[in-house]
Amino acid sequence: MAHTSTGHEVLAVVFQVRRAESPTAKRKPALHVLLWQRALEPEKEKWALPGGGLGADEDLTSSVRRQLAEKVDLRQLAHLEQLAIFSDPHRVPGPRTIASTFLGLVPSPATPELPPDTRWHPVSDLPPMAFDHGPMVEHARTRLEAKLSYTNIGFALAPNEFALSALRDIYSAALGHPVDATNLQRVLERRHVITRTGTTARSGRSGGRPAALYRFTEAAYRVTDEFAALRPPG
């Protein structure tokens, strides 16, 4: 019986809530994913998740961190965790290759410098994707949406300090539906996820009462209510 070796690659689905870069697009914050454009066949010019082959002396997490740093110069991850295995024998041409996907999150104020072939894309408007990378993005987005409900993972998408309106925009973008700021405050304070800093934001041009600033109680991932769900209004 013929023996064929199986390759193993690690791929990172890295999300950030950011405003669209196109001047013609709406400036409302939206969930973006980091992609790079393939220069060679197969799937030349299609967009792919950053990552690559697992080194013989690497564990999965070390490999994905190395490749994000080397290939797209991304080191500003506030959260990284393994998500899923994609093992369809025909998912890529050539020798069978199993893929382990990771969820990575970059906080909103970070502006990492990217190589020319790498770009942030709105998750709601993905370009032509290579191989099975489109379903990988959708799977990661679904997992992030669930985790925002029952964990404190929002810390990895938010600035160190924020007004409730800014946090509402981040949650709305990541969840894909509007979130009420007052309800969000009530839920997160009850779970001891956010706390007041005792300071306020600078007043805008329109004046008015300065908004109170908050921060996440801790910058380490934890489950806050395993049965919770942040549902769309109505």
What is the set of domains in the chain, with CATH numbers? 7-148 (3.90.79.10), 150-216 (1.10.10.10)
The DSSP call for residue 90 is: T
Range from 197-201, 203-207, 224-228 carrying the lowest mean pLDDT = 203-207
- Mean pLDDT across 126-152: 97
CA angle 8, 11, 16 (to 5 degrees): 170
- Residue that has been written with the tokens 């300071």 in this structure: 199
138 vs 136: CA distance, rounded Å: 5
Q: What are the backbone dihedrals phi and psi of residue 92, each rounded to the nearest 5 degrees, phi first?
A: -135, 155
The helices-and-strands tally (H runs, E runs) of the chain is: 4, 10
The more confidently predicted of residues 99 and 5 is 99
- pLDDT, residue 234, reads 63
Q: What are the backbone dihedrals phi and psi of residue 43, each rounded to the nearest 5 degrees, phi first?
A: 65, 35
Range from 4-8, 128-132, 152-156, 162-166 carrying the lowest mean pLDDT = 4-8
Whether 2 shows a pLDDT value over 50: the answer reads no
29 vs 128: CA distance, rounded Å: 22
**pLDDT band at 72; cut points 50, 70, 90:** confident
- pLDDT, residue 174, reads 96
In the chain, the amino acid numbered 120 is W
Whether 76 shows a pLDDT value over 60: the answer reads yes
Taking only Cα atoms into account, the Rg of the chain, rounded to an integer number of angstroms, comes to: 19
Reading the block at residue 144, the tokens are 């992030």
Assess contact for 13 and 82: CB atoms under 8 A: no
211 vs 164: CA distance, rounded Å: 8
Assess contact for 155 and 224: CB atoms under 8 A: no
179 vs 125: CA distance, rounded Å: 21
Q: What are the backbone dihedrals phi and psi of residue 112, each rounded to the nearest 5 degrees, phi first?
A: -65, 140
- pLDDT, residue 201, reads 81
Whose CA is closest to 168, among 202, 214, 234, 203?
214
Taking the model in full, what pTM does it have? 0.92
